[in-house]
Structure 1
Amino acid sequence: MLTVGDKLPGLSVPVQQGVAALPAGETLDLGKTDGKWKILFYWPKDFTFVCPTEIVGYGELKNDFADRDAVLIGASTDTSHVHFAWRKSDEQLANADFPWIADNSKKLAEALGILDPEEGVAYRATFIIDPDNVIQHVTVNGLNVGRNPAETLRVLDALQTNELCPCNWSEGEDLLRPAA
């Protein structure tokens, strides 16, 4: 599995966003940085139970991530048409307006090392990637336990300080300062 210090693979991947039109072969070049942080999070499958709670949770924090020069990118091993159908079927998912990678070839999930070998779908993996496309944080959950998007935001805040942050540190709290 790729981990802290590894580069995000610079793949061009199929992507789906919004509900205004059927997918038409749109792609996202993960090698481009645009000077932004990336929050890349995978869920196992569309049309399931835990996954929409996470997608909606991340979507509700989209502006908070944007305030920190970070872009949200969701992903699963479903196709862009399945993503589109799921978004069309659920107003909350339709409002989760960020790109969803359609990794049905599983190339990115395999490159990241996050495929469940028995189920053939991605684990619930979250990667925080810096503006140089270097992975700075990774969490991976099994298929049945959802994540806390607010914790991802807290970790991003800590990483962006480039300082020593104590356990449970939150934005605005004191940083650790070694004695001189």
Structure 2
Amino acid sequence: MVSISTNPAVTENTRYENAKKRSAEVAYARHADYTGGNEAKRNELAQRLTATQADPQPQEFRKLGAGQLKQVALPLGETLEETIASWRNVRSEALSKTDSSEVDHQLAAAASAKIMEAEAQLALEDRLRSAQLAEASREASLVQPQQSNSATDSSLADAMRKLYDQAAAAYAIQTSAKQHGYMGASPVYSLIA
């Protein structure tokens, strides 16, 4: 025997709210993993820097062969402004040599692309911030009582008076038509059984 029960507590809104809640939890967890990962990388870099500064060892110069690329640490800042400044330093160092190679030009181009990407993200954040401020100021202006202008009040009163006169004239025409035996068309409702 199969039993089907309908639970009115589980509605479309409840499912939607649960899905929204799960999505928010997943997004929060991803963000926490991302920021935690970056923080761990920063801590690791800081430890390596302090270790190399405490015990500087001369590094052996190694000439790169054909097809080998020089490894460059990509800069990440705490904020977008710091990241942009770091990428600008990378670009200026890559182009500072008088005999810069193709790899240096590629690095400078990649740095320029990263700068433009970070600036675009910064512009979007600024736009969002300004939109939020505009919305907050709009809500604040709606909450506060508005000071009325006498010119605005008088023009509004004139407009209301004109509308009232038009409505009174239309009512007068309808009542005189009814008195003379004219019936206005009324909607016909039919019931279908």
TM-score normalized by structure 2?
Answer: 0.19
Of structures 1 and 2, the one with the larger relative CO (CA 8 A, separation 6+) is: 1
Structure having the higher Rg: 2
TM-score normalized by structure 1?
Answer: 0.20
